[in-house]
Amino acid sequence: MMDISGTNTSDAILTAKAGISAKRKAKIGALKGLMYFAAALTTVLLVGIIGYIFFRGVPHVTWNLLSTTPSLLTDNIGILPNILNTLYIIIIALVFALPIGVGTAVYLNEYATNKKLVRVIELATETLSGIPSIIYGLAGMLIFVQAMNMGTSILAGALTLAVMTLPIIIRTTQEALKTVPDSYREGALALGAGRWHMVRTVVLPSAMDGIVTGIILSIGRIVGESAALLYTAGMANEILTPLKSITPGNAGATLTVSLYMYAKERGQFDVAFAIAVILLIITFVINISAKLLGKKLKK
């Protein structure tokens, strides 16, 4: 009978194994240490920045700041117009970007048969998403503000940002559509559904949480944008009615633009930090509510 346990050779192998495992342990330990360090560094930086902003900003967030318009005559500083302008720009930009973006993604993923055209459009959206925002601002100024005669206005700013967020919405929607199993599509078609009926009743509902993610990202991008708005939406601090916000010629600074002005042009860092606190809170609230909405829609 053959000795299948191979007692003689296994000794050498076992020692070798032991040696390797000791080496491996050291390697794993070192890597673990590096990872912990990286994680700790990230956390410290993040908490540090947020903490610093809150430390400097919170004492200056007052009801007066939130609820009034600024005036050089009374020496009052208030950011109500900027809060409203930010909201206006989010809403108007999404009203344009959402249907066009989702529509484009649906076309690319569900209808287009011309692979070349799809690739060209995808390349274009990828390129668009990599362009610095100030260039959107420049293009927006030339096209919306001047050529289309909207003047420096909320509308021109919102349209510029709509173009800017379009690639995000297209990409995230497309990714979401790709996660919808083909078996759903086949099932719907096999029951006699037309293509649009299939998209509307089966595909889009299944992709909804991904689309919502795209919307959150877009809102985040809009809230955080300032460069593209400097030339297009202007720096006015007057309260606008919703109707005025969609009428050409009514300029207005958003929170980020006003933050820039208070910090850079007027040197009022207390106000700038107060605005930063408000921006942080808005972003936080948007993220949380959108996540909850996405969860609810998925059910």
DSSP single-letter state for residue 143: I
Size of the site for other proteins (CB under 8 A): 18
Q: What is the rounded distance in angstroms from the CA atom of residue 134 to the CA atom of residue 260?
A: 14
Name residues contacting other proteins, limited to 190-219 (CB under 8 A).
Answer: 190-194, 197, 201-202, 205-206
Q: Per rule CB under 8 A, is residue 295 in the interface with other proteins? A: no
The answer to whether 283 contacts other proteins (rule: CB under 8 A) is no
Cβ proximity to other proteins, 212 vs 271, nearer residue: 212
> Which of these segments, 90-98, 176-184, 227-235, 240-248, binds other proteins (CB under 8 A)?
176-184
| One character per residue 240-279, x = contact with other proteins (rule: CB under 8 A) | ----------------------------------------
- Asked if 297 touches other proteins (CB under 8 A), the answer is no
- In the complex, least distance from residue 203 CB atom to other proteins, rounded to whole angstroms: 10
The secondary element (H helix, E strand) that includes residue 211 is helix 204-224
Residues 67-126 touching other proteins, rule: CB under 8 A, are 113
Judged by CB under 8 A, the stretch of 155-163, 189-197, 265-273, 277-285 that binds other proteins is 189-197
- Residues in contact with 77: Cβ distance below 8 Å, sequence separation at least 6, in sequence order: 65, 70, 262, 268, 271
How large is the C-alpha radius of gyration of the chain? Answer: 27
What does each C-alpha distance from 141 to 136, 168, 200, 256, 291 come to in angstroms? 8, 21, 37, 18, 34
Q: Closest separation between CB of residue 202 and other proteins, Å?
A: 6
User: What SS3 string covers 63-111?
Assistant: HHHHHCCCECCCCECCCHHHHHHHHHHHHHHHHHHHHHHHHHHHHHHHH
Interaction site with other proteins (CB under 8 A): 113, 181, 183-184, 186-194, 197, 201-202, 205-206
